[in-house]
Structure 1
Amino acid sequence: MGLKTGVTLGDIASKLGLSISTVSRALQDHSGLSAETKARVLAASADLGYRPNLAARSLVSGRTLRIAVNTPQEILSVYDLVRKGIRDEAEPFLAMGVELVDFTFPRLGEGEAEAFEGALDAGVDGVILVPGAPASLKNSFARAASMKVPVVCLLTDAPSEQKLSTVCVNAVSCGALAGELMSRLLPAHGSLAVTTGDLKVTDHQEKFSSFERCVQRNRADTLLYDPIENHESESEAYERTLAFLNQHRDLGGLYISTGNGAPALRAVEDAGLLGKLTIFSTNLFREVVPQIRLGTVAGTFYERPYSHGRIAFSLLYKYLSTGIVPPPRVSLEPFLIMRGNLDCFVHQQNHPEANETDRGSIESILLGETLASMQ
């Protein structure tokens, strides 16, 4: 029988006409109960699809509920917010036998398989991870499944792997919005380029494909160059973008579809093209704010990394503590930030420039609504 959500000790007790304390003692194999009662309770719990409350059990036994957090070191402007979101959501539970264990690796595609194996070797009860190179994680996903360790993917997906849930931005929306806006703003017979991370990452591939489809649909005459991949490297983001721009001085627009937006934007400036291109960026990093105010960057798509972290922890903890199975995918819509709504996200009176930890009132409201909908 499949796992049912929200089954409690009270449900088992009602089914059998027993007290909750008796059911609890039976599930803990208490010596004071008959074998017949224990067998009835075990059979009923299996029939109802009951999952033991690991968090409550850890409080009784003194055992810590350990959750691994596997995230890249680069890009700090993104992953620091992800980690902060996880920590903030976990804070009320840290005194209740919950421990966050960090397995940080250099960047997507570098060291993430070793970090995943390290988490499983450490005997964690659940894993939150960013799967940059899913093919390299296949064996680890299989091992986690065999160990019954639930995995929540964060920011991007590992489509063919077994996991509890994925919390990600709607990459198709990001690409489509950027494609529609840029194709409308582009002069006749203009050209477009996309600087991105690594197209082996599901999130980046989905954004570019969606961007390409939308541009072709709206402006079939537009020249769209092959994507400029930086492989999640700050130095590559700068060097490859600069080299491309120096070779294509007549470019009409650039979609910075990467967390390494700061070096890509610096490349535009060093190429002498800032203010001469239609530019849309990704997320609200410090360097982009004054450019949006000046109008040299038309806007940015804020992917809400802090919210991703909070939601990922909430889903995993709820599953471990109550057995409630989350939706297989929680997809967050991006915020389009332009000069007209920039101050909703950046409190100018306290921080003249962008403050990455200041998410603004709009995100706070929508995050609260999202978490409440999962109660």
Structure 2
Amino acid sequence: MAKSQKSLSQTSLNQVGVQDIADALGVSRGTVDRALHNRDGVHPATRRRVLRAAGRLGYRPNLAARYLSSRKHITIGLSLPQEVSHFYDDVREGIFEAASAFEAFGVKILHRPYDRFGPHELESFRDILDEDVRGLVISPAYPSRLRPCIDQAARRGIPVVCVATDAPGSKRLTSVSVDPFVNGALAGELMGHLVSEKGNVAVFIGMHATTDHEQKLKGFRNSFEASCPRGRIVGVVEMHDESKEANEKCRKLLLQQPSIRGIYVSTANSLPVMRALDELGLAGKVKVICTDLFSAIVPLIEGGKIAATLYQRPREQGFTAFRAIVRFLTEGLRPPPQIRLDPTIIMRSNLSLFLQERYLRPTTSDGTR
């Protein structure tokens, strides 16, 4: 008995499986399996011992593995843009990392990427919906346009999870992102301290139609006005996450508004804005707060051309989104309506901590891989 008690206490420190219970009680794995699943061939006293040991050890059946092993495969559709690559590549990495845990049980990913955030997202969604998928992960640039398709999928019993932004008012299962209002508010408060009391600033967003972008703008406006009451937002620019458009619009605005002292770029499309500042000799003079962290902006942070960046933890977003949809399909665990991650402010003083992470990969000068 002493030997069994020792085994029980040791095993309870780790994740408990059927073999652990068998080892602790000195019985066969088959006996434990039959007892746990109420099958014939187990003495009632032995069954009680097994169930008591399972309770003490905190044994939980692997419902996902059991579900998946009973089917040939389960396919999750993935509809994400290829650009901006240094953000969405990391989201995909997180998704594939989460999927690897279920690969042995037949989980598959059907990926239908499209070129840029926004264009062709509807076609990609419809193409995947025509396939034999059990769920979808999407990043809706135009939620009002996608809402009927999301609701159609829900009526067919196909859950949809939004990642990086949301489709409010739709029947999506959940959305996973950093809190966009808080993200913008952090940038606004910081900008208020970076520019002078009467500093004029500009905000570069992807699209007003995108929930994430619009909420960041609202958060920034609210916080900047509170922390810098005499400052003004003299321009809000839609870039559509397109490099040439962002560069040209930034140059035009800076020439029209030479009083601008700060720029907030609320998406990962910051490199063309930084090029415009360089071309006009304003890099390092205009305070810049950008979004996300990738190799091409590291020297800009180190050199003081970028004051700070708001890191959105894209890999964690992807990992969390995929895990949520698989657990819903296999275990019936419904996630909360929104899963919000905390954004992190990265400045030169704490940059080295993040450079130790493996998510930083080389990019070209225009931010592509």
* TM-score bracket for this pair, using the shorter chain length: 0.7 to 0.9
Q: Is 1:135 the equivalent of 2:144?
A: yes
Q: How far apart are residue 20 of structure 1 and its match? A: 4.4
What does residue 223 of structure 1 align with? 232
Read off the aligned partner of 2:76 and give its amino acid letter: I
Q: Are the counterparts in 1 of residues 137 and 163 from structure 2 also a CA contact under 8 Å?
A: yes
- Cα distance, 1:95–1:19 mapped onto 2, change above 3 Å: closer
What does residue 290 of structure 1 align with? 299
What does residue 355 of structure 1 align with? 360
Q: Are the counterparts in 2 of residues 192 and 252 from structure 1 also a CA contact under 8 Å?
A: yes
SS of residue paired to 1:195: strand
CA distance in 1, matches of 2:301, 2:279: 18
Q: How far apart are residue 307 of structure 1 and its match? A: 0.6
What does residue 213 of structure 2 align with? 204
The correspondence of residues 119-268 of structure 1 with structure 2, limited to 5 A, is: 119-268=128-277
SS of residue paired to 2:115: coil
Q: How far apart are residue 92 of structure 1 and its match? A: 2.1
Deviations 1:249-276 (A, max 9, x none): 2211111112211111111111210011
SS of residue paired to 1:225: strand
CA distance in 2, matches of 1:275, 1:142: 47
What does residue 81 of structure 2 align with? 72
What does residue 59 of structure 1 align with? 69
What does residue 43 of structure 2 align with? none
Read off the aligned partner of 1:66 and give its amino acid letter: T
Q: Are the counterparts in 2 of residues 70 and 127 from structure 1 also a CA contact under 8 Å?
A: yes
SS of residue paired to 2:306: coil
What does residue 11 of structure 2 align with? none
The correspondence of residues 87-106 of structure 1 with structure 2, limited to 5 A, is: 87-106=96-115
Deviations 1:86-136 (A, max 9, x none): 001111211211101101112222111111111110020010110110111
Q: Which of the residues 299, 319, 326 maps onto 1:310? A: 319
Q: How far apart are residue 323 of structure 1 and its match? A: 0.6
SS of residue paired to 2:147: helix
- Cα distance, 1:57–1:333 mapped onto 2, change above 3 Å: closer
CA distance in 1, matches of 2:265, 2:67: 47
Deviations 1:47-94 (A, max 9, x none): xxxxxx686444234x21000111011110000000011001111211
What does residue 116 of structure 1 align with? 125
SS of residue paired to 2:309: strand
CA distance in 2, matches of 1:184, 1:318: 43
Q: Is 1:107 the equivalent of 2:112?
A: no
Read off the aligned partner of 1:250 and give its amino acid letter: S
Q: Are the counterparts in 2 of residues 54 and 65 from structure 1 also a CA contact under 8 Å?
A: no
CA distance in 1, matches of 2:101, 2:234: 49
CA distance in 2, matches of 1:78, 1:60: 36
Q: Are the counterparts in 2 of residues 282 and 300 from structure 1 also a CA contact under 8 Å?
A: yes
- Gaps in structure 1 of 5+ consecutive residues: 1-17, 23-52, 358-375
SS of residue paired to 1:331: strand
Deviations 1:292-312 (A, max 9, x none): 112221111001111100011
Q: How far apart are residue 19 of structure 1 and its match? A: 8.8
Q: How far apart are residue 160 of structure 1 and its match? A: 0.6
- Cα distance, 1:146–1:191 mapped onto 2, change above 3 Å: same
Q: Are the counterparts in 1 of residues 84 and 117 from structure 2 also a CA contact under 8 Å?
A: no
Read off the aligned partner of 2:305 and give its amino acid letter: T
Q: How far apart are residue 209 of structure 1 and its match? A: 0.8
Q: Are the counterparts in 1 of residues 206 and 240 from structure 2 also a CA contact under 8 Å?
A: yes
CA distance in 2, matches of 1:68, 1:316: 11
Deviations 1:136-181 (A, max 9, x none): 1122112101111011110000011011111011111111111111
Read off the aligned partner of 2:153 and give its amino acid letter: A
Read off the aligned partner of 1:223 and give its amino acid letter: R
Q: Are the counterparts in 2 of residues 190 and 252 from structure 1 also a CA contact under 8 Å?
A: yes
Q: Are the counterparts in 2 of residues 81 and 356 from structure 1 also a CA contact under 8 Å?
A: no
CA distance in 1, matches of 2:102, 2:64: 13
Q: Are the counterparts in 1 of residues 235 and 253 from structure 2 also a CA contact under 8 Å?
A: no
TM-score by length of 1: 0.77
CA distance in 2, matches of 1:58, 1:299: 44
CA distance in 1, matches of 2:182, 2:249: 26
Q: How far apart are residue 21 of structure 1 and its match? A: 6.9
What does residue 34 of structure 1 align with? none
Read off the aligned partner of 1:65 and give its amino acid letter: I
Q: Are the counterparts in 2 of residues 169 and 332 from structure 1 also a CA contact under 8 Å?
A: yes
Q: Select the structure of larger CA radius of gyration.
A: 2
Instruction: Provide the aligned length of Structure 1 versus Structure 2.
Output: 307
